[in-house]
Amino acid sequence: MDLVILSHRWLSRHLNPLPEPSQVVRALEQLGIEVVARRTYGENFAQVELVEVVTRTPHPDSDHLSLVTVRRGSGELTQIVTGADNGFPQDRLWYAPPGTTLADGRTMEIKMLRGIASPGMLLSAEELGYQAPGGDLWVWTADDPLGTRFLDVVGGVDTLYDLELTPNIAQYLQSVRRIAAELAAVLNLDVSPATPEFTYGADLRVEVQSLERCSLYGLVRMSLVEGQVSPLWLQTLLRAVGQRVIHPAVDITNFVLWDLGEPLHAFDARRVDGHIIVRLARPHEQLRLLDGTTLTLTPDDLVIADERKVLALAGIMGGVDAGIAADTTEILLECAHFAPQGIFKSSRAHRLSTDAALHFGRGTDPEAVLQAPRLVQDILHAAGVLQQIRGSSRVGQLEAQRSVPLDFARIRSLLGVDWPDDDISMALQGFGYQLEEGAAVVPRYRHDVSAVNDLAEDVARYYGLARIPRTLPVQRSELAHRDAAAMWDEEVRDLATACGYHEVITRTFSHAQLDSQFAVGPRGSAVVVTNPLRAEESLLRRFLLPSLLEVVRYNRSYHDLPIRIFEVGSVFHRVDERVIEQRELGVVLSLDPTPEFPPRPAASIYDLTGLADYLFERLGWSAQRDAFVDPPAFLHPGRAQRITSSCGDIGYVGELRPRLASLYRVRRLGVLVLRLPDAIERTRSKPARPSRFPEVQRDLSLVVPEKVTYAELAECLDALKIDILRGMRPIDRFEGAFGTSLTVRITFQSDVTTLTDAAVDEIISQMLLALSDRGVELRQ
């Protein structure tokens, strides 16, 4: 975005009548120009008043200070101490009484200077931010009455608009004259006539070697009257928009830059050897800039040179060798049209974003090459600064104007309006298009216009978007659909939430050490971010878990609360030149007991194994938990399982190594990580009609050898294929001198009959017999 300061006073040079600031703001917004802020300029001049010197005597205790008594507008006499060497009786000066704030931010007060009080200051032009000829203090020669405020001689308070220009508008609207023209179009006002063209001669030698990069080059030699400064009105406009006043030759180029949108450059003619040459730089050629730095150029850079040296990086910045100095009176004024791309690339390559580069880089108006010297001539002449024009030349031609097809029906259909052709024509003409049969001739400064869509946009801007109707598209009806993988993710989120876990969303960035610490299984290398904001975000994570652990650390360092969180997020890795993006579910549960009344069972790793099984069941996902042959080092070796599906390993569940968990400010931490599939065949529910006969439950307390797992025990009973066995679940487990005792509750039920105790006893005997093969016995 380009930021531009627009002065309301400057607008008045071009608009008649001048609208109210609030009208300007509304119209600017309609035109697509954002007004970021509205400010004022000049308020601090309201207290600065014109006074006359009555007496001047030396300070009794200082060699260089004087006591000056002045008469103010009220007739009151005031004595001020000054160090200035001018300001004698009858001189009229600008006085800043206590309370005044100067251009440099100083606020005036009553100061003791060598024992004598001095209320405020007598001012130099510089202290007001201006330039004036002559000595230290600004001696005012105009015949304004005493007591006149400085604010009155500069024309009162100005309103400033801080504008943000989008890149398309910045291509042609960085010009007060052009903004005024657009405002005039939408507000139906008169705009000042275009500046007449300058009549170039052919009496200066100019050589343009690259017409592709510089299609038009004008040069005017001017003699200036020595010791002059820019006119007050021009200084005031430049100061208002934040420009410094430097030298009439520089000030006028700054004025034309913002008024016409055309960057000019002035060379000190004394320091140019021979004629001007516009050419590409030679390899390693050097240019010393005004700020003291030296650029090393390449043949991609276009330069302005004389016969011996480079004078400027074309359209971007001037060199110090032929720059304007305080005593410059003979200038070569350059007005050119440079190809935007070349300027944009050079300014980027050398990191020089000057106002000129911003204008030329976006594209300027070639016609300004013809108008600008005339504007300079007129202003400098009127101000008594210009002595004489001593030659001029122009190389290159204006390109023919482009035109785009004008299709009224198409404009209507793009906007969704029924406006008649005449209304559309009026809008386009208002913005400077010339209309021909079936075509709109585009103004030369409109580099942003290439097709009918651009015309439609201008029509919309002209009338305002508020006049566009609001409709819903009328289309053939079609069923909207969701994406299978995304729906799967959403279902996982809903299930995890229903199971009591809070969703978090973490950044996908990580860093190498963290990323490899939690690596599981084979995965491609990490995708490195080449310009990270911070070192710990220097790659895209390959694993989700570390991001969640950071959330645990963050939370636990602020509060001692149980953590139950999950995320469905992306992980990345690269295989050759391809980046693979996958989605993982990560669940983290702190297992530290939290005192609570009414009591709740403590969280345990069984909550996560149970969650995994529940997810598989609800999602119809054929996945199962399995023993780890070689569990990763970050997991508790005795409390971890891998999770597999037909795709192989897809995740794990377990406790973090306690030593590692403590780094995240928890003693015990359970984790579950699953890679989510894109689309799978889901197993279906198998609804079964419930039996009409009563269930029988039996509790068996078993002594189980250390090596026999519950899964083996269940498998052993399953193998018996007992049709009345409906289910088994552990209800108690403890370790005693005899080994591990496990009590299971077994449920039997028949579909065809009421079970008798005898029948059940018989089955139980069968089961115990089978279990005894594994060393499992009934506890006595």
Partner 1 sequence: MEQGGTLEAIQQTIRQAATLDELKEIRNQWVGRKGRITEQMKELSRLAPDLRRERGAELNAWRESVLAALTRREEELVDLEERRALVHERLDLTIPGRRPEVGLLHPLTRVRRRIEDVFLRLGFSLAYGPQVESEWYNFEALNIPPDHPARDMQDSFFVDVPGLVLRTHTSPVQIRSMQRHQGKLPVKIIAPGLTYRRDDDATHVPMFQQVEGLVVDEGISLADLTGTLTVMAQELFGDGVDTRFRSSYFPFTEPSVEMDVTCAVCRGAGCRVCKETGWVEILGSGVVHPVVLENGGYDPSIVTGFAFGMGIERIAMRIFGLDDLRLLYQNDVRYLDTFQSGEGDGPGDFKSSLA
* Interacting positions 463-482 with partner 1 (CB under 8 A): 465-466, 468-482
Binding-site member from 359, 444, 461, 675 for partner 1 (CB under 8 A): 461
* Angle at alpha carbon of residue 108, lines to 102 and 114, rounded to 5°: 125
Min CB(144)–partner 1 separation in Å:
37
308-347 footprint of partner 1 as x/- string (CB under 8 A)? ---------------------------------x--xx--
- Report the residue number, 2 or 285, with the smaller CB distance to partner 1: 2
- C-beta neighbour count of 486 within 10 angstroms: 11
- Report the residue number, 473 or 736, with the smaller CB distance to partner 1: 473
**Alpha carbon of 654 to those of 593, 744, 746: distances in Å?**
17, 24, 28
Min CB(384)–partner 1 separation in Å:
41
Show the 3-state SS of 254-319. HHHHHHHCCCEEEEEHHHCCCCEEEEECCCCCEEEECCCCEEECCCCCEEEECCCCEEEECCCEEE
Residue 775 region by backbone torsions, left for phi larger than 0, else alpha for psi between -120 and 50, else beta: left
- Report the residue number, 136 or 454, with the smaller CB distance to partner 1: 454
Min CB(509)–partner 1 separation in Å:
7
Select from 162-170, 180-188, 373-381, 609-617 the region that touches partner 1 (CB under 8 A).
Answer: 162-170
- Report the residue number, 64 or 507, with the smaller CB distance to partner 1: 507
Instruction: Based on the shown chain and the rule CB under 8 A, indicate whether residue 392 belongs to the binding site for partner 1.
Output: no
**Alpha carbon of 521 to those of 182, 542, 548, 644: distances in Å?**
64, 11, 19, 12
- Report the residue number, 61 or 581, with the smaller CB distance to partner 1: 581
Distance CA(558)–CA(547), nearest Å, equals: 17
Select from 46-54, 506-514, 516-524, 654-662 the region that touches partner 1 (CB under 8 A).
Answer: 506-514
Min CB(682)–partner 1 separation in Å:
20
- Report the residue number, 269 or 404, with the smaller CB distance to partner 1: 404
Phi, psi of 394, deg, nearest 5: -140, 135
The residues, ordered by sequence, that sit 6+ positions from 475 with a Cβ below 8 Å of its Cβ are: none
Min CB(760)–partner 1 separation in Å:
37
Min CB(230)–partner 1 separation in Å:
32
Instruction: Based on the shown chain and the rule CB under 8 A, indicate whether residue 362 belongs to the binding site for partner 1.
Output: yes
* Residues in region 94-113 near partner 1 by CB under 8 A: none
- Report the residue number, 380 or 588, with the smaller CB distance to partner 1: 588
Distance CA(74)–CA(694), nearest Å, equals: 114
Phi, psi of 41, deg, nearest 5: -130, 135
Min CB(507)–partner 1 separation in Å:
5
- What does the block give as tokens for 389? 């024009």
Instruction: Based on the shown chain and the rule CB under 8 A, indicate whether residue 486 belongs to the binding site for partner 1.
Output: yes
* Residues in region 531-550 near partner 1 by CB under 8 A: 531-533, 537, 540
The residues, ordered by sequence, that sit 6+ positions from 19 with a Cβ below 8 Å of its Cβ are: 27, 183, 187, 189
Binding-site member from 555, 609, 641, 750 for partner 1 (CB under 8 A): 555
| Size, binding site for partner 1 by CB under 8 A | 96
Distance CA(447)–CA(401), nearest Å, equals: 11
Instruction: Based on the shown chain and the rule CB under 8 A, indicate whether residue 509 belongs to the binding site for partner 1.
Output: yes
The residue assigned the tokens 């990191």 is 351
- Report the residue number, 598 or 638, with the smaller CB distance to partner 1: 598
- Report the residue number, 91 or 301, with the smaller CB distance to partner 1: 301
Q: In 3-state terms, what secondary structure has residue 138? A: coil
- Report the residue number, 500 or 620, with the smaller CB distance to partner 1: 500
**Alpha carbon of 76 to those of 73, 120, 146, 152, 723: distances in Å?**
7, 15, 11, 21, 118
Helix (H) or strand (E) holding 654, with range, is strand 648-656
* Residues in region 435-454 near partner 1 by CB under 8 A: 451, 453-454
Distance CA(277)–CA(46), nearest Å, equals: 49
Integer-rounded Cα Rg, in Å, for the chain is: 42
Instruction: Based on the shown chain and the rule CB under 8 A, indicate whether residue 483 belongs to the binding site for partner 1.
Output: yes
* Residues in region 274-303 near partner 1 by CB under 8 A: none
Select from 44-52, 259-267, 300-308, 597-605 the region that touches partner 1 (CB under 8 A).
Answer: 597-605
Select from 267-275, 572-580, 647-655, 738-746 the region that touches partner 1 (CB under 8 A).
Answer: 572-580
DSSP string, 401-467: PPEEE--HHHHHHHHT----HHHHHHHHHHTTPEEETTEEEPPTT-TT--SHHHHHHHHHHHH-GGG
Exposed / middle / buried, residue 322 (Cβ in 10 Å: 0-12, 13-18, 19+): buried
Phi, psi of 419, deg, nearest 5: -70, 140
Instruction: Based on the shown chain and the rule CB under 8 A, indicate whether residue 23 belongs to the binding site for partner 1.
Output: no
Binding-site member from 93, 125, 385, 565 for partner 1 (CB under 8 A): 565
The residue assigned the tokens 């139906």 is 188
- Report the residue number, 170 or 776, with the smaller CB distance to partner 1: 170
At position 705, the amino acid (one-letter code) is: P
- Report the residue number, 159 or 508, with the smaller CB distance to partner 1: 508
Min CB(427)–partner 1 separation in Å:
13
Binding-site member from 5, 21, 32, 275 for partner 1 (CB under 8 A): 32
Distance CA(140)–CA(50), nearest Å, equals: 8
- Report the residue number, 143 or 478, with the smaller CB distance to partner 1: 478
Min CB(30)–partner 1 separation in Å:
7
600-629 footprint of partner 1 as x/- string (CB under 8 A)? x-----------------------------
Binding-site member from 85, 581, 626, 723 for partner 1 (CB under 8 A): 581
Min CB(299)–partner 1 separation in Å:
17
- Report the residue number, 331 or 504, with the smaller CB distance to partner 1: 504
- Report the residue number, 280 or 499, with the smaller CB distance to partner 1: 499
The residue assigned the tokens 């991001």 is 547
- What does the block give as tokens for 647? 């795709």
Binding-site member from 89, 167, 201, 775 for partner 1 (CB under 8 A): 167
Phi, psi of 602, deg, nearest 5: -65, 145
Min CB(369)–partner 1 separation in Å:
23
Distance CA(496)–CA(564), nearest Å, equals: 10
At position 613, the amino acid (one-letter code) is: D
- Report the residue number, 85 or 483, with the smaller CB distance to partner 1: 483
* Residues in region 410-439 near partner 1 by CB under 8 A: 413-417
Instruction: Based on the shown chain and the rule CB under 8 A, indicate whether residue 409 belongs to the binding site for partner 1.
Output: no
Count CA within 13 A, CB hemisphere, residue 441.
7
Binding-site member from 196, 274, 500, 658 for partner 1 (CB under 8 A): 500
**Alpha carbon of 144 to those of 17, 50, 93, 147, 530: distances in Å?**
28, 8, 11, 9, 65
Binding-site member from 496, 666, 713, 767 for partner 1 (CB under 8 A): 496
- Report the residue number, 11 or 496, with the smaller CB distance to partner 1: 496
Binding-site member from 300, 503, 560, 718 for partner 1 (CB under 8 A): 503
Min CB(287)–partner 1 separation in Å:
23
Instruction: Based on the shown chain and the rule CB under 8 A, indicate whether residue 29 belongs to the binding site for partner 1.
Output: yes
